[in-house]
């Protein structure tokens, strides 16, 4: 049978093995935690960029509608204040886009940065169409002018493509 000294020896060896394994596994656990934190930070930045881009798109479309109403329609006084609010919202969203883009440039990866840069370019293309008027010079329909519609669709596609690349690098 086991003596007290034998049981104590087995317990000491088991304890030593446990401590040794713990010391060997600790760097692996820390590295896994660091990678998980990096992925979460990247996911938060990507989500922020997508949300800011979506808000920017909405405000650009709203600015275009107000501008067309004021230029081609009869509503001239009430829309000026709304246009200022939409512009403030747009420039706030645009500032957020630049901030999230900078954070992505800092942390990478390059494929994600390239998609974010493409997203910013499409946002600028849509921004350039904010003063477009209807081809028939009448504001009597619910449709956006063709250049605004095309730029908006391209921007939407850029948001979707960015989201796909982001999913690949954050999951």
How far apart (Å, rounded) are the C-alpha atoms in residues 106 and 47? 16
Under the banding of pLDDT at 50, 70 and 90, the label for residue 136 is confident
Exposure pattern of 104-132 as b/e (b: 16+ CB <10 Å)? beeeeeeebbebbebbbebbebbbebbeb
| Residue 105 contacts residue 42 (beta carbons within 8 Å) | no
Residue 121 half-sphere exposure, CB side, CA atoms within 13 Å? 9
Domain count, the chain: 1
Is 132 inside a domain boundary? yes
What tens digit of pLDDT does each residue of 92-118 get?
Answer: 999 999 999 999 999 889 999 999 999
Is 4 inside a domain boundary? no
Is 111 inside a domain boundary? yes
Is 99 inside a domain boundary? yes
The structure's pTM equals: 0.79
**pLDDT of amino acid 83:** 83
Backbone angles phi, psi at 53, to 5 degrees: -65, -40
Is 59 inside a domain boundary? yes
Using CB atoms within 10 Å of the CB of residue 43, give its burial: 0 to 12 exposed, 13 to 18 middle, 19+ buried. middle
**pLDDT of amino acid 37:** 87
Six-digit token pair at 98?
Answer: 């630049």
Averaged pLDDT for residues 2-22 = 69
Is 164 inside a domain boundary? yes
Is 5 inside a domain boundary? no
Is 29 inside a domain boundary? no
CATH number for position 117: 1.20.1420
Q: In the chain, what percentage of residues exceed pLDDT 90?
A: 49
What tens digit of pLDDT does each residue of 137-164 get?
Answer: 877 567 889 899 999 999 999 999 999 9
**Structural domain for 116, as ranges:** 41-170
| Residue 151 contacts residue 60 (beta carbons within 8 Å) | no
């Amino acid at each position: 049978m086991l003596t007290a000294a034998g049981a104590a020896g087995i317990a000491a060896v088991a304890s030593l093995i446990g401590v040794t394994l713990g010391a060997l596994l600790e760097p692996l656990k820390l590295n896994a935690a660091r990678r998980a934190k990096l992925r979460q930070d990247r996911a938060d930045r990507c989500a922020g960029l997508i949300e800011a881009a979506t808000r920017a798109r909405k405000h650009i479309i709203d600015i275009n509608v107000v501008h067309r109403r004021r230029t081609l329609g009869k509503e001239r006084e009430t829309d000026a204040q709304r246009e200022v609010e939409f512009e403030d919202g747009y420039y706030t969203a645009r500032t957020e886009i630049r901030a999230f883009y900078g954070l992505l440039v800092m942390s990478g990866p390059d494929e994600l940065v390239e998609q974010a840069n493409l997203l910013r370019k499409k946002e600028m293309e849509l921004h350039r169409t904010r003063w477009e008027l209807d081809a028939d010079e009448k504001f009597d329909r619910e449709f956006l002018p063709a250049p605004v519609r095309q730029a908006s669709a391209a921007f939407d596609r850029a948001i979707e493509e960015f989201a796909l690349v982001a999913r690949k690098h954050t999951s």
